[in-house]
Structure 1
């Protein structure tokens, strides 16, 4: 009998670290953040931003002439805060501290004074910066928005015992209701320094490392990072970081009910003229069902469902970084998702590469060669 070959056998990351490799956590972090609270953006057109947000599945929690708060159906903070400004840009993430004492501990360690947030949010914030210069907020005691009616997963007939009788499935072609913010992905020219900063200051721990083929001895180039809640399971990644030629936002992800909500919601977005970047498929690291969209300002946003959750006992996995390894199944990864589609973004990428190579940071010629191999893999 010929030997059968599993095409994903070298892509999954159940394999662990080799001796001397990054442990994926630190022993005594300053604090351990509990979750990602919200993301902040600046955009010039709040009306346009709100129209896409509603089609994507957000609900408006606050709207003024200068600010827009977007929420999901789960109780808690808004998922996204958009401030009106002259150009579109990502301002940074806000993480939720476990309590006020942790907020004060972080402030003392970084030499930053905590201050009150606006009454629209409530609570207190300590504003710090990561090694790449991105503003990172850590908040505590914010107002909690009440839950809203949620979209329920459909009942599936599977196996020999059907659960649905005399009742056809007819999912509505309507926006998939966003439940909550899941994670944000960032690119950094100082990836290793930034990774260590988040582990040390916020107490995050790594779920999976990726590395460029042939360069494992130089260390990882991407990490999927989760909150450490001890024995309480948490999302496979709340933050993901990757090495690249510029410090930038890559994408953010928002949970929806199930595959039908994602697919029907995607048809609604297509009907209203919005651009699907990549999907629908299922990831490898994190296992999420995914569907990626470009908003009118060019930001990449993801619907996801059915993601992995880990507690503190699971050690990091290690796997090579490949374009084909981004999904277990689904359509081929697109140039738009990889940010190499012909057009303005590709020209911007080229300028970033030249600037990064001149700057003498972690993104050097060897790393550029590895990244190009990823895009072609």
Structure 2
């Protein structure tokens, strides 16, 4: 149609780097982690956290007066550990080592030592701090929780492929059962240094880079980063890093069975009085069907399904960061998701912008202009 402009044109990130740009991986990393193990938080109200967690689709694997452990249906470690604290805050991620001996190699390279984890988790950890100040664990030989009964995906009639005959489709409006932890997104004032730290020390590799429009020559400001499992496919991103005026948690994502589980589970959350932040839609980078929610402490959490899987042969894609480029379809991105809705989070970020512009870091006035353009693009 004459005059029509496709806002997604050029945003699908199949175009790669040009000469001299970041390669998206380290030449000789210390170790190559296998996956995320869990995320750790502190919150003052464990009972309230558990109520939301069950509505979101977690199962409690362990609870005491001072700690709550939440799991999905897949076997392995808990997805989320919440310890009682005076205020709500994100402590950091734990990554699973591919081999227990990797901990010795990592400890030697970082001048640290393996230490035992609490008995409730088992195993050992090397505790590190990334350049943005986030605590990062790399763990091995932790207790293996057995698989739970999973939520079965629906049987779909796809086009002319009829798999469901003489049977109706009636997905129950119940919590979507979380299968596993998928990824975590964090913001840092030291994006490039932090990115290189993860690539060098943990062997992660970049799937996609984003840059501010008109600022590609200054380098990327966001990266979607996956585990390097060689020929074995891994999630499009296990960790995502984005440049911003403060060092903070952005969101974490948890896989569910399919679109029906995600949508019916979302209806259950809505009817239970919880706040949807943005959804339902399908992302571009990663391709996931997504639905974002706020927990009672304000943390952003995502249900996702049908995400991309890449092996190590794919090189990073490059694309401009835009608000319209966050999804292929779905409702327009919300101010709440972008962190610019009126409230305590946006006020904290405004204060952080003022502080960041006075400090020596990567978030300068030109980067601020690029960020402000994103919400309007």
TM class, shorter-length: over 0.9
**1:160 shift after superposition:** 2.0
User: Are 2:153 and 1:158 aligned?
Assistant: no
Task: Show the counterpart of 1:102.
Answer: 102
Aligned pair in 2 of structure 1 residues 133, 161: CA closer, same or farther (>3 Å)?
closer
Q: Structure 2: how far apart are the matches of 1:4 and 1:81?
A: 48
Structure 1: distance between partners of 2:252 and 2:2? 43
Per-residue deviation at 1:263?
Answer: 0.4
Structure-1 separation of matches of 2:2 and 2:336: 39
Q: What corresponds to 2:280 in structure 1?
A: 280
Q: In 2, Cα distance between the equivalents of 1:305 and 1:155?
A: 15
Taking the aligned partners of 1:31 and 1:276, their CA distance within structure 2 comes to: 38
The normalised TM-score by structure 1 is: 0.99
Measure, in 2, the Cα distance between the counterparts of 1:247 and 1:161: 48
Following the alignment from structure 1 to structure 2, what is the Cα–Cα distance between the partners of residues 90 and 5?
41
Please name the residue that 1:170 is paired with. Answer: 170
Distance in 1 separating the partners of 2:267 and 2:72: 20
> How big is the shift at 1:375?
1.2
RMSD over aligned Cα, in angstroms? 1.1
Quote the residue 2:51 is aligned against.
51
Shift of 1:5: 5.6
Q: How does 1:1-377 map to 2 (within 5 A)?
A: 6-377=6-377
- Give me the whole-angstrom Cα distance separating, in 2, the residues matched to 1:354 and 1:69: 37
SS in 2 for 1:102: helix
Q: SS state of the match for residue 337, structure 2? A: coil
- State how far apart, in whole Å, the 2-side matches of 1:69 and 1:132 are: 26
Residues 7 and 323 of structure 1, relative CA distance in 2, 3 Å threshold: closer
Q: Alpha carbons of 1:296 and 1:97: their partners in 2 closer, same or farther (altered >3 Å)?
A: same
Displacement of 1:239 after TM fit?
0.1
Superimposed CA distance per residue, residues 282-331 of structure 1 (whole angstroms, 9 cap, x where no aligned partner)? 00000000000000000000000000000000000000000100000000
Q: Give the Cα–Cα distance (whole angstroms) in 1 for the partners of residues 234 and 241 of structure 2.
A: 18
Q: Give unpaired runs (5+ residues) of structure 1.
A: none
- Unaligned stretches of 5+ residues in structure 2: none
- Aligned residue for 2:254, secondary structure, equals strand
Where 1:328 maps in the other structure, the secondary structure is coil
- Distance (whole Å) between structure 2 residues aligned to residue 158 and residue 204 of structure 1: 36
Deviations along 1:15-49, one digit per CA (max 9) or x if unpaired, are 00011000000110000000000000000000000
Could you report, residue by residue, the CA deviation over 1:115-171 in whole angstroms, capped at 9, with x for unpaired residues? Answer: 111111010000000001110000000000000000011001122231111111110
TM-score w.r.t. the length of structure 2 is 0.99
CA contact (8 A) 2:8 2:324 kept: no
SS of the equivalent of 1:53 reads helix
Q: Deviations along 1:189-209, whole A, 9 cap, x unmatched?
A: 000000000000000000000
Kindly provide the CA deviation profile for residues 97-127 of structure 1, in whole angstroms up to 9, marking residues without a partner as x.
0111101100011111111111110100000
> What is the distance in 2 between the residues matched to 1:216 and 1:7?
19
Q: Matched residues in 2 for 1:113 and 1:47: separation?
A: 35
Secondary structure of 1:337's counterpart equals helix
Mapped to 2, the partners of 1:2 and 1:56 lie a distance apart of 45
CA-CA distance at 1:345 after TM superposition: 1.4
Offset, 1:7: 3.5
Instruction: Decide which moves more: 5-14 or 172-181.
Output: 5-14
